[in-house]
Amino acid sequence: MAKQRGIIKLRGTIGDITFYKTKDGHLAREKGGVDAKRMATDPAFQRTRENGSEFGRAGISGKLLRTAFRSILMNASDGRMTSRLTQQMMKVIKADATSVRGLRNVIDGEAELLVGFEFNIRSSLSSTFFAPIDASIDRGTGALTVAIPPFSPLSMISAPSGSTHYKIISAGAVVDFVAGTFTLATSETAPLPWNMVETAVLTQVNALPVATTAPLFLILGIEFYQEVNSIFYPLNNGAFNAFTILKVDGGV
């Protein structure tokens, strides 16, 4: 691929050159590729078809997971989160030691590889929130729990300039990657002051259906606010909010 230079940026195709815009700028590339029918039938492209099938499955699985948590991630993700999650889903699928190549999937893979995934790479939870966290998943009761002992917000939270308050938010979801369905439960604090006053013990229990066999995901995040005349405004439209996948139970 080549970058377009000059004042006028082109889009479309001229001759054998295709001009297009990406997040990396205006690019140009030569048209080409293998005939679609040959790609679908030629034994020489068997590995390509297998890789394409699994990549597509990773994209669909990543979209379902994003959709499950969409209500709390709308203001806490970066522009490349989708592609980063798809890449991580590919690692999950490739860890499937049961299915044949091309048919590997999330259920038979290692969904636990998603633990630690940051939805907003510009503001990771690991570099924002330093208080100890106890996370647990009880498949039998359907309880996905976060427990945080007392801490001093000013010491344990790296808040962006302008912050006066914050929220701690957790969410649990059971995600059925075969059926394409999910169930979500969320918990959040009221806006809490970012000061030196030690907090009370914080416990959030996200209740999901009991004894499900599908993968369970527990995420934790922090949102920042600025109080003006008793109204809490999201800081910089959520650019500094951080959410991570805290714990995963891959299913039975």
Task: Give pLDDT, residue 252.
Answer: 72
Residues near 142 by beta carbon (within 8 Å), at least 6 away in sequence: 207, 208, 209, 210, 211, 212
Q: For the residues 54-81, what does the mean pLDDT come to?
A: 92
Q: Residue 177's pLDDT band (boundaries 50, 70, 90)?
A: very high
pLDDT at 131 over 90: yes
Task: Give pLDDT, residue 128.
Answer: 96
> What is the percent of the chain with per-residue pLDDT over 70, rounded to a whole number?
85
Regarding whether 90 and 19 lie in a shared domain, the answer is no
Regarding whether 209 and 107 lie in a shared domain, the answer is yes
Rounded distance, CA 159 to CA 155, Å?
10
pLDDT at 41 over 70: no
Regarding whether 66 and 45 lie in a shared domain, the answer is yes
Q: For the residues 30-48, what does the mean pLDDT come to?
A: 60
Regarding whether 213 and 134 lie in a shared domain, the answer is yes
- Enclosing domain of residue 9: 1-32
**How many Cα atoms occupy the beta-carbon half-sphere of 23 within 13 Å?**
4
Residues near 193 by beta carbon (within 8 Å), at least 6 away in sequence: 153, 164, 165
Q: Residue 211's pLDDT band (boundaries 50, 70, 90)?
A: confident
Q: For the residues 56-72, what does the mean pLDDT come to?
A: 95
Q: CB atoms < 10 A from the CB of 90, how many?
A: 21
Mean pLDDT of the chain: 88
Regarding whether 155 and 60 lie in a shared domain, the answer is yes
Give the global pTM: 0.82
Regarding whether 26 and 42 lie in a shared domain, the answer is no
Regarding whether 203 and 109 lie in a shared domain, the answer is yes
Domains of the chain: total: 2
Task: Give pLDDT, residue 239.
Answer: 87
Q: Which regions of 49-150 does DSSP assign to beta strands (E)?
A: 134-138, 143-148
Task: Give pLDDT, residue 184.
Answer: 98
Q: For the residues 223-227, what does the mean pLDDT come to?
A: 95
Regarding whether 142 and 44 lie in a shared domain, the answer is yes
pLDDT at 165 over 80: yes
Regarding whether 7 and 72 lie in a shared domain, the answer is no
Task: Give pLDDT, residue 251.
Answer: 81
Task: Give pLDDT, residue 25.
Answer: 76
pLDDT at 120 over 80: yes
Regarding whether 244 and 147 lie in a shared domain, the answer is yes
Rounded distance, CA 196 to CA 65, Å?
36
Regarding whether 14 and 60 lie in a shared domain, the answer is no
Could you read off the pLDDT of 3-13 as tens digits, one per residue? 657 666 656 67
Q: Compute the C-alpha angle 249/55/186, nearest 5°.
A: 35
Nearest to 213 by CA among 251, 172, 174, 183: 251
Helix, strand and coil content of the chain, in percent to the nearest 5, comes to 25, 35, 40
Quote the radius of gyration of the chain (alpha carbons, Å).
22
Regarding whether 137 and 21 lie in a shared domain, the answer is no
